[in-house]
Amino acid sequence: MTTSTRPAAIERSALAPGAMRGALAAVEPRAAADPGAIRVVRAPGRVNLIGEHTDYNLGLVLPAAIDLEIRIAFVPTDDRRVELVSGGTGERAGFDLDAIGPRRGAWIDYVAGTAWALADAGIATRGLRGIIVSSLPTASGLSSSAALELASAWALADEPGGGVAPIELARTCQRAENAYVGVNCGLMDQFASACGVAGDAVLLDCRSLEFRPIALPLATHTLVVIHTGSTRSLTTSQYNVRRAQCEAAAAALATSDPAIQSLRDVTPAMLPRIRDLVGDDAFRRSRHVVTENERVADTIEALATGDIAALGRLWAASHASLRDDFEVVSPELDALVEIASAVPGVAASRMTGAGFGGCTINLVERGAVSDLRTAVDARYRARTGLQPRVYAVDAVDGAGIVAG
């Protein structure tokens, strides 16, 4: 989700702690004078395997944190001033912790919003001078905003991780995005960046906030993210419209059944009433959410039993539901899924994230990744005129301190 730009993504090698310390020392005299004081924190992006637009309906999501991430190298200061340089562009920005002010429409908003939300949650913050480096493509549906918030939280908080459970830190960062940046997102992105588990996806129940790691078949398969190369447009406004339609559907049912607090409480049998009460759009949005929750549960079952064919069918059904009922699939996302699904060895493929552009997620037999790259290179550009980007990704741990 994006209302303002994030630091530009650069090569992964620039994220090595030694490279980051050197880059900070080059722009910040305090770091040059006392290299031993430099700390480095990291926060990963995420890919969602299934459970799309379910989080703000208090449903189920299955994201994984990925090895495309944002890092901040910094020296803590006691002057209550935060000054950061974007390693991608060299742009500088900053703010006073005791006079944060309103958002400006730039990447520093995510840092300032996090500082505001931490203070609001009673978590002690400190000043710093730092540099931000990212290997996460921005505005691509891989949660660069959540990663920037979590990395900021780890840098700004006096105690490691704010001295709270990672899911609490995720909620604080979600609040930064909702109330300061102004995007009404659910918890999934911040949750994944905070609570990721290396080698696994993580199932989150957005109603109870219970979560647990889910093993992936990574001995035989690889997660491959493919970027459409299309800039997302209307994402924030259309996202908010979808969210409002879902909430209106739940509210309409609640007038006769107060037990219904969100679409999580709605069964398939109740759906036709939504059409009568609120109309066809709200009915189809709700049908997506209700069936998507079932598909997440079925995906967990398929992963547990090693039924990769079932997983492929579930992801295909999720994609179709997001296209036909939720209407967030762009023609470019559809083209990528169609091209990937025709490649032998691609077990499952669907759009991931909010939609309206961004990326697809693919579960691919290890031996078939290069065939997938070849097929995408050969067919996608000819079909759309856009340059795709293919990333084989690993599932990694959530945000924290980088050793070394």
Query: Where along the sequence are the contacts to ligand GLA (CB under 6 A)?
Result: 1, 48, 52-53, 55-56, 185-186, 188-189, 353-354
d(CA 343, CA 239): 31
Q: How far is the CB of 80 from ligand GLA (least distance, A)?
A: 30
Residue 251 CB contacts under 8 Å (≥ 6 apart), including other chains: none
Place of tokens 């203070």: 119
* DSSP, res 282: H
Q: CB-wise, 82 or 153, nearer to ligand GLA?
A: 153
**Residue 189 appears among annotated catalytic residues:** yes
**Phi/psi at 193 (5° precision):** -65, -30
Place of tokens 């069918």: 313
The 3-state DSSP class for residue 261 equals coil
Q: How far is the CB of 378 from ligand GLA (least distance, A)?
A: 30
**Residue 247 belongs to what H/E stretch?**
helix 235-254
The 3-state DSSP class for residue 366 equals helix
Q: How far is the CB of 262 from ligand GLA (least distance, A)?
A: 13
Q: CB-wise, 52 or 332, nearer to ligand GLA?
A: 52
Q: CB-wise, 50 or 131, nearer to ligand GLA?
A: 50
Place of tokens 């910040």: 28
The 3-state DSSP class for residue 132 equals strand
Q: How far is the CB of 40 from ligand GLA (least distance, A)?
A: 26
The 3-state DSSP class for residue 288 equals helix
Q: CB-wise, 28 or 189, nearer to ligand GLA?
A: 189
Q: CB-wise, 2 or 135, nearer to ligand GLA?
A: 2
Residue 222 CB contacts under 8 Å (≥ 6 apart), including other chains: 363, 364, 365, 366, 369, 392
The alpha helices in 86-165, defined as continuous H runs, are 108-120, 144-156
In what side-by-side order are the strands of the sheet with 81-86?
Answer: 92-96, 81-86, 127-134, 63-77, 39-48, 400-401
d(CA 373, CA 37): 43
Please identify which of the residues 109, 189, 200, 325 carries the catalytic annotation.
Answer: 189
Count of beta carbons in the 10 Å neighbourhood of residue 197: 19
Q: CB-wise, 1 or 169, nearer to ligand GLA?
A: 1
Residue 244 CB contacts under 8 Å (≥ 6 apart), including other chains: none
Residue 189 CA, distance from chain mean position: 4
Q: How far is the CB of 186 from ligand GLA (least distance, A)?
A: 3
Residue 159, Cβ density class (10 Å: 0-12 exposed, 13-18 middle, ≥19 buried) = exposed
* DSSP assignment string, 154-167: HHHBSSGGGGS-HH
Q: How far is the CB of 61 from ligand GLA (least distance, A)?
A: 7
Q: CB-wise, 54 or 125, nearer to ligand GLA?
A: 54
Q: How far is the CB of 353 from ligand GLA (least distance, A)?
A: 5
Q: CB-wise, 161 or 353, nearer to ligand GLA?
A: 353
The 3-state DSSP class for residue 328 equals coil
Angle subtended at Cα 186 by Cα 190 and Cα 45, rounded to the nearest 5 degrees: 30
Q: How far is the CB of 188 from ligand GLA (least distance, A)?
A: 4
Question: What amino acid positions are annotated as catalytic residues?
Answer: 189
